[in-house]
Amino acid sequence: MPPEVQRAYREKLNLQQLFSSPALRDWKHRVMQRFLREIVKIRGNTEVTLRPDNVIVDVASLAENRGRVLPEEVISAVCASPDYGGKEGTLPILAEAMEPKWQFWWASFRLLRAQPSELKIMSYVLGPKQLSWIAAQSARLVLPYAGDLYGISEQAVDIAERLITDGDAMSEYSSILYDITQQTPARNDRRQLSASVSRSALLSAASIGDPTPSASDAVYGAISVIRMVRGSAAIARYTLESMIRWIITPTLITHASRGLQ
C-alpha cells in the first residue's frame, strides 16, 4: 500500500457506529466500563441523563454497573456531556478504551458476508482510498485465473490503483473503463471463472466512487474465484483475510489532523 494511502484513514473515524457494530458485540460492557473509569479518573465525576426514560445517574456509578444498562445509551450520553467537553473531549478516551478489542477483531475477523458486512465495519475506520486499495489487491490476487480476459482485467486493476493515488485522472480513464466493461462477459457466460476475475477487477475500479459496496463486491468476487479454483470456501476466505491483514493493521488512536465522531 503506498504511504499516502496507508495514511488515508476515514477523515472522521465513526467510533460510536463501530461501538454499536458486531465488531464489539461480546465486549461492549467491558469497553464501556474501561471508558467510564478512565474518564472519571481524568475529568472527575458528573451526572448524565440516560434515554429513553430520562434517568439521571452519575458516571462513577455507571462505571461499576454490571449489565443493567445499554452500553450504547451510556456512551451516547457521556459523549454528549458538556461537563466532559462533548465529543471532542470524550472520543479520544473512548478510542483508547476500544483499541485493544478492535485489534482483536481485526486479527480474527472472518469474511462471511454477514450483515453488516466486514467491509462495512472496516469503513467506520478505513478511508475510501484504503478500501479501494483492498479491492484492487483482491482483484490482482486472482488475475492468474483470468484466462483470455487477463489483459483487460489487469488493465482495470492498474487503472484502479492509478485512480486511488490520483483522483484527477478519472477523465483520462473513463472511456477505457467503459470499453473494458463492454468486453466483460455476462454472469452466465460459459467462461465463468475468467468472467468473475474480470468483474472483480472492474469492481475495484468502481470502488473509487462508491467504496464500501463496490470494494465488498470485489473482495467477495475474488473469494468466489478462489473457491472455484481450490474447491474450498474456507481456503478462499482465509486467503483474502490474510491478504487484507498483510496490507494494513488499522488503529483507532488518532492525532490532531484526524477526527473522531
DSSP bridge pairs for 13: 260
Which phi and psi (to 5°) does residue 158 adopt?
-60, -45
pLDDT value at residue 144: 93
Distance CA 54, CA 195 (A): 56
Distance CA 112, CA 124 (A): 18
pLDDT by residue for the chain (261 residues), tens digit each? Answer: 888 888 888 878 888 889 899 898 889 999 999 999 999 999 899 988 888 778 888 888 888 876 678 888 999 999 998 988 888 888 999 999 999 999 999 999 998 877 668 888 999 999 999 999 999 999 999 999 988 889 888 988 998 888 888 876 666 667 776 677 777 665 555 457 888 888 888 888 888 777 788 888 889 989 999 998 988 999 999 999 999 999 998 988 865 445 555
DSSP class of 56: E
pTM: 0.86
Going by C-alpha positions, the residue among 225, 250, 255 that lies closest to residue 240 is 225
Cell numbers at 42, concatenated: 481524568
According to the model, what pLDDT value does residue 133 have? 93
pLDDT, residue 257, reads 41
For residue 209, the 8-state DSSP code is T
Which residue in 222, 247, 238 sits closest to 122, CA to CA?
247
Strands 47-50 and 259-260: unpaired
Q: What is the DSSP letter of 249?
A: -
